[in-house]
Each structure stands twice: as C-alpha cells, then as structure tokens.
Amino acid sequence: MESDRALTVGLSRRGRGEVSALLSGLAALHVSGTDVDWAALLPGSGGVVDLPTYAFQHRRYWLEPSSATAGAERLGLDRTG
C-alpha cells in the first residue's frame, strides 16, 4: 500500500538570496528522498564523487605512544594518587 505524503519546503526568507533559498530548498527535498536532477541544475559541476572509505577501515592514522613519552615522570611530573 502506497502512502500519500506531502512535503513543503520554504523558498523565501528575508535576507536570503533567491539562488541560495532555491538550492537550500532543493537540498531539503533531496535529503527527504525526492530525486533532484543536480546535473541539469548545475551543469559542469563535476558529477558524483565517491566518499572516502578510510574512516571505516578500522585503521589508525596517529602515532602510537613510545616508551620515551609514555609517562608523566619523563616530564618531571609525579603520579597522582
């Protein structure tokens, strides 16, 4: 059974340019699941770009602590209780 749904998007705001309001409204429609033909609206904009996957590869990209910097004692500090 298909449900009848209506979605309204405001395209007019005081202090906001017409182009900005239109693009914001189309973006809201896109996020809600409506198909928007971005290529027709923004010709020559570069197309679709794949999202990077490195955040989901469970790899660490920061340095591991070494024994030279592992403890506060190396910095002349005492341990807390």
Domain of 50 in residue numbering reads as: 18-75
CA–CA distance, 14 with 31 (Å, rounded to integer): 23
Confirm if 44 and 34 have CB atoms less than 8 A apart: no
pLDDT at 19: 87
Q: Do the domain assignments include residue 13?
A: no
pLDDT at 56: 65
Better pLDDT: 62 or 40: 40
Q: Do the domain assignments include residue 1?
A: no
Q: Do the domain assignments include residue 70?
A: yes
User: How many domains does one find in the chain?
Assistant: 1
pTM, two decimals, is 0.48
Q: Do the domain assignments include residue 33?
A: yes
Q: Do the domain assignments include residue 50?
A: yes
Render pLDDT for 27-47 as a digit per residue (tens, 0 to 9).
Answer: 998 998 889 888 888 887 766
Neighbours of 75 (CB within 10 A): 7
pLDDT at 71: 64
Confirm if 78 and 72 have CB atoms less than 8 A apart: yes
Q: Do the domain assignments include residue 2?
A: no
The pair of structure tokens assigned to 3 is 């449900």
pLDDT at 1: 45
